[in-house]
C-alpha cells in the first residue's frame, strides 16, 4: 500500500467522523431506507429534487454502520448534488469504489455500495419503476 492509500484512508475516517449532509431534509422529494444485514449497516437517504423533477438538489443521510458504509454515504451525498436521476441510475459499484479511493475487499463492497443502492432504489420507487414495498437489502 503506497502513500496514496493512506491519504484516502484519512479521507474515509474524516467522512466517518465528520459526515457531510448528515441529518434529514425538511421536505424531501423521496426518502428511502436500506440495510446490509450481513454487518448491520443501515442508511436512510433523503433526496430533494429541483423543480425540473430530474436534477438532484440536495441529499441528506442518516444511519449507522461501519466506517466504509457511512463514509460512502457522506461522500455520495455531496457527489449527487447537481446530478440527475438518470445519472444516479447509471452509477455502479466501480464509481463508488473509485470515489472512496481504496481497495475494498469483496466482503466490504456491499458496505461501500449500500448508500448508492438506497439512493437508486429510492429514485426507482419515486419514478414508479420499483415496488414501494421493496426495501433495499444488499444480500441478494
pTM of the model: 0.89
Asked if residue 117 lies in contact with residue 24, where contact means CB atoms within 8 angstroms, the answer is: no
Other residues' Cβ atoms within 10 Å of the Cβ of residue 103: 10
Helices assigned H by DSSP within 18-84? 67-80
- CATH no. for 3-134: 3.90.1010.10
User: Residue 29 has what pLDDT?
Assistant: 97
Block residue for cell numbers 451525498: 77
Rounded-to-integer distance, Cα 58 and Cα 83, Å:
10
User: Residue 130 has what pLDDT?
Assistant: 80
**Which candidate, 49, 47, 50, places its Cα nearest to that of 61?**
47
User: Residue 2 has what pLDDT?
Assistant: 47
Amino acid at each position: 500500500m503506497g502513500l496514496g492509500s493512506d491519504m484516502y484512508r484519512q479521507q474515509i475516517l474524516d467522512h466517518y467522523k465528520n459526515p457531510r449532509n448528515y441529518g434529514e431534509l425538511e421536505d424531501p422529494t423521496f426518502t428511502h431506507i436500506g440495510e446490509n444485514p450481513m454487518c448491520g449497516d443501515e442508511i436512510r437517504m433523503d433526496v430533494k429534487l429541483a423543480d425540473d423533477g430530474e436534477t438532484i438538489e440536495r441529499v441528506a443521510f442518516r444511519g449507522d454502520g461501519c466506517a466504509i458504509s457511512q463514509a460512502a454515504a457522506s461522500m455520495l451525498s455531496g457527489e449527487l448534488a447537481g446530478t440527475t436521476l438518470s445519472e444516479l441510475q447509471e452509477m455502479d459499484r466501480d464509481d463508488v469504489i473509485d470515489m472512496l479511493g481504496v481497495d475494498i475487499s469483496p466482503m466490504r463492497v456491499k458496505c461501500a455500495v449500500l448508500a448508492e443502492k438506497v439512493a437508486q432504489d429510492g429514485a426507482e420507487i419515486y419514478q414508479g419503476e420499483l415496488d414501494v414495498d421493496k426495501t433495499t437489502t444488499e444480500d441478494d
